[in-house]
Amino acid sequence: VASVRTGIDRAVAGGVTVVVAAGNSGRTSIPDACQYSPAFVPSAITVGATDSSDRRASYSSYGSCLDIYAPGSSITSAGARSDTASASMSGTSMACPHV
């Protein structure tokens, strides 16, 4: 965990913008993004997901470590079945590219 923080801090110090997903633990007993790596790293931009109503998606982790929310529900992304496939996906990893 310390090496993750160090790596992100060094990248940011070198001028790289680091964007990380908050996690999809919003419905669990530990929904706080600060409890997960790499969302806990202060120098990273931690992104939560919103739903189609622009509210926090129920699955999105949350907490004081979050910097911003972005659309993350029913996002059309690249699919795995072929070079031209697409798929509808949801999650904080789908929200990150919006930032």
Q: List the domain range (segments joined by +) for residue 64.
A: 2-98
Q: What is the pLDDT of residue 29?
A: 96
Instruction: Please give the backbone phi and psi of residue 72, each rounded to the nearest 5 degrees, phi first.
Output: -140, 0
Alpha-carbon gap, residue 20 to 45, rounded angstroms: 6
Mean pLDDT value across residues 13-29: 98
Alpha-carbon gap, residue 95 to 60, rounded angstroms: 10
Consecutive H or E run containing 20: strand 19-21
| pLDDT tens readout for residues 37-59 | 999 999 999 999 999 999 999 99
Alpha-carbon gap, residue 45 to 98, rounded angstroms: 12
pLDDT exceeds cutoff 90 at 1: no
| pLDDT tens readout for residues 70-81 | 999 999 999 999
Alpha-carbon gap, residue 56 to 22, rounded angstroms: 12
The domain total for the chain is 1
